[in-house]
Amino acid sequence: MNAMRIAAVMLGLALAVYVAALLMLYAKQRSLVFYPQFTRNPSVPPEFRFDVEGAVLRGWVVNPGRDRALLYFGGNGEDVSRNRDDVQEWFPDHTVYLVSYRGYGHSSGQPSELALVADAIALFDFVAKTHRRVDVVGRSLGSGVAAQVAASRPVGRLALITPFDSLLRVAQGHYPWVPMAWLLTDRFESWTKASQLTMPVLVVIAEQDDVIPPPHSDALIALLPKPPQVLRLPLAQHSTVQVYPEYDAALRQFFEQE
């Protein structure tokens, strides 16, 4: 076997391995985007049920009876029940809805971008019937949900914590050898909704974030029609923003305003 034939065989094998890897990524992509397995044992049993098409969502209602409401959409592996004590303290003038995504916690169904956004909009419409104003917080993956809700519904105030311009762009940065534009189904293209986010916006950026690097947050900010309030935490990583007192102070101050 001459050198050229050996090179061709090696190239063919490498190509076959590459294609197999791409097929595996395509088949398993949602297990790389959504991590419901980390939310199966919430800190307290759910107390709120909300029926949506194809699933039953379950969660918690904190500070019931307020005229303002706040919807919180968490990260891709976040047990939102763990925020109960914090949001009770941070948002005393809001009734806060902490609802697990479909497939998360005790909610039924399977997560996808289309399903999560549809569920979130349905929850907004339900809550808006009994509250004067509905504010929204989205963290990490939840920022992609929150941006789409705020683009289609009259959200009062919007906080985006460690947000991104596009999950597709974030994924491409992590996997530069993968043609993500061909493979990724759930893209959460928040940048396409930015021009519709005309309400007051707070953006929290963790400067040491290696999950959603700050340039992705800055790219989204640049597209907003009005300059948002921006909190930059120089030492924070993606999962540690909540340990800094500036974080809860900014949320308190932002949402206590009319």
Residue 147: the pLDDT is 98
pLDDT of residue 32: 85
Cα separation of 141 and 143, whole Å?
Answer: 5
140: tokens are 């990490």
| Residue of higher predicted confidence among 164 and 26 | 164
Joined tokens for residue 68:
């303002």
How many Å apart are CA 194 and CA 220, to the nearest integer?
7
Q: Which two tokens stand for residue 92?
A: 């005393």
Q: Answer yes or no: are the C-beta atoms of 251 and 159 closer than 8 Å.
A: yes
Mean confidence (pLDDT) of the chain: 94
* Residue 177 DSSP SS3: coil
Angle between helix axes 214-221 and 167-174 (nearest 10 degrees) is 150
Q: For residues 123 and 120, what is the distance between their CA atoms, to the nearest angstrom?
A: 5
Write the single-letter amino acid at 31.
S
Helix axes 141-152, 113-128, angle to 10 degrees: 50
CA angle 99, 128, 117 (to 5 degrees): 50
| Residue 29 pLDDT greater than 90, yes or no | no
The pLDDT value recorded for residue 258 is 83
Residues 227, 221: Cα–Cα separation, whole Å: 8
9 band by pLDDT with thresholds 50, 70 and 90:
low
Higher pLDDT, 25 or 107: 107
Could you tell me the pLDDT band of residue 236, with boundaries at 50, 70 and 90? Answer: very high
Please write the tens of the pLDDT for every residue from 175-232.
898 888 888 999 999 999 999 999 999 999 999 999 999 999 999 999 999 999 999 9
146-150, 180-184, 236-240: which range is least confident on average?
A: 180-184
Q: Find residue 205's DSSP bridge partners.
A: 232
Round to whole Å and give the CA distance between 36 and 64: 27
**% of the chain surpassing 90 pLDDT:** 82
pLDDT > 70? residue 112 = yes
Instruction: Write the CB contacts of 76 (distance below 8 Å, at least 6 apart in sequence).
Output: 33, 34, 35, 140, 141
- Tens digit of each residue's pLDDT (9 = 90 or more) over 242-252: 999 999 999 99
- Confidence grade of residue 8 (pLDDT, cut at 50, 70, 90): low
Helix segments in the chain, DSSP class H: 3-33, 84-90, 113-128, 141-152, 167-174, 180-183, 214-221, 245-255
